[in-house]
Structure 1
């Protein structure tokens, strides 16, 4: 997996057949700085680096448009890439926190003709003076 991953990272900064070494090194540096702890984090941080590079490329394109249709197209593409970046960062944060869900199972017996309440019951409502 590692050799394939390195090949993908090298191509990350490429434009057509030419590889941009500084862009590839930036992506590698980002992934290294994020310190992925397992394969899932490695792949997710790689995707984050790729989305970031594409976002920056589109931001540069937006700064060099010649007309309104080009501006609109570049702006739409930039917005479409900015959202996944934030979502992926949130996914990484949630993955790293490894919060566990707690399932509580309780046995409740309801006699014939009785009613059961499911959920947490808290005392409240009217004050003591109103009773």
Structure 2
């Protein structure tokens, strides 16, 4: 069982993390205490849902909470009809930039976690008689539809399928 000092240090670290997250939020002055607490709980819930596993992920998760909150605030301000057109347009531009940044942060988190794209290079190919394969760059096209016409598809040449040898693959 950890000592009281260790438990106190853990509590201090967790409280500092909570303050860092809360400080990123824009909370209007006219919001009551209960509403503020709800905003804080929601931000902490979002942070915990990202389940940071190390310091880098923790810092990135905190930034993502701040970016998300700022983007929503820009969108909220743009939605108010009492704003001038130029102000609404500016808020929409800021929201768009923040949402693009958020997408980059998600990609960075996925890359750090090893969920980014991987590239496989085949160095040696053995072709067996009767097999077919495509020669060239191949994109898995997950979620994409092939827009080539049947005539174009018919014209594509195929070559014998190479023998698959996992030991010959090099990951980069």
Taking structure 1 as the reference length, the TM-score comes to 0.66
Structure 2 unaligned blocks of 5 or more:
1-12, 126-134, 136-172
The reply on whether 1:69 has 2:63 as its aligned counterpart is no
Distance 1:72 1:98, change over 3 A: closer
In structure 2, do the counterparts of structure 1 residues 71 and 25 end up closer, same or farther at CA, with 3 Å as the change threshold?
same
Whole-Å separation in 1 of the counterparts to 2:63 and 2:113: 16
Report the counterpart of residue 80 of structure 1 in structure 2: 97
Are 1:30 and 2:42 counterparts?
no
**What are the equivalent positions in structure 2 for 1:1-131 lying under 5 Å apart?**
1-15=13-27, 20-65=36-81, 66-97=83-114
Matches of 1:8 and 1:16 in 2, distance apart?
18
Q: Output the CA distance in 2 between the equivalents of 1:62 and 1:16.
A: 16
Unpaired segments ≥5 residues, structure 1: 102-119, 125-131
**CA positional deviation for 1:2:** 4.0
Further displaced range: 29-38 or 12-21: 12-21
Q: Which has the higher helix share?
A: 1
State the alpha-carbon separation in 2 of the partners of residues 97 and 75 from structure 1. Answer: 33
SS of residue in 1 equivalent to 2:63: helix
- 1:31, 1:49 within 8 Å by CA — same for their partners in 2? yes
Q: Secondary structure at the match of 1:37?
A: coil
Cα offset, 1:79, TM superposition: 1.3
- Per the alignment, residue 111 of structure 1 pairs with none
Deviation at 1:98, TM superposition (A): 7.2
Using the size of structure 2 for normalisation, the TM-score is 0.52
